[in-house]
Amino acid sequence: MATVPVYRWRLAPDDLATRRQLRALGLRPGGQDVAAQVERPRRRRGPLVAYLYSIEQAKPVRPMTPAKRAALAKANAARRTCPACRRDAGYVIPVSLGMCATCAFPEEQRAA
């Protein structure tokens, strides 16, 4: 594996971008290899690392199809549905609780 250049925070060339920056430009890496990485130093831990991709080799983002839109809506609805009471909670169910707040804390709901 070839080593990639490492740049310090905010010192990367303008022709390279992170995935998030590519997405803001309406692009995606498109299967290209990592061109470089940027490191942001931290005090008590190792540096934060972000991979950089060439903007010239990036491809446009694939358009959202009706089938993808429907699948995304179904997945988001499943994340909002409480497995205990099967109701739409109106928010994404926290993984730490595994159910809506009403089912997780029934005694607090009666007191209110």
Q: What is the spatial distance between Cα 103 and Cα 106, in angstroms, rounded to a whole number?
A: 6
Q: Which domain holds residue 102?
A: 66-111
Tell me, what's the pLDDT at 1? 52
Tell me which residue of 60, 64, 56 sits closest to 25, measured CA to CA.
60
* % helix, strand, coil for the chain, step of 5: 30, 20, 50
Based on the fold, state whether residues 53 and 89 are members of the same structural domain. no
Q: State the Cα–Cα distance between residues 48 and 11, nearest whole angstrom.
A: 14
Is residue 107 very low, low, confident or very high in pLDDT (cuts 50, 70, 90)?
confident
Indicate whether 84 and 98 sit together in one domain.
Answer: yes
Q: What is the total count of domains within the chain? A: 2
Which residue has better confidence, 111 or 13?
13
> In angstroms, rounded to a whole number, what is the distance separating the alpha carbons of residues 56 and 95?
40
Do both 41 and 72 map to the same domain? no
Q: Give 55-82 pLDDT, tens digit per residue.
A: 999 999 999 999 999 999 999 999 999 9
- Within a domain: 26: yes
Is pTM beyond 0.75 here? no
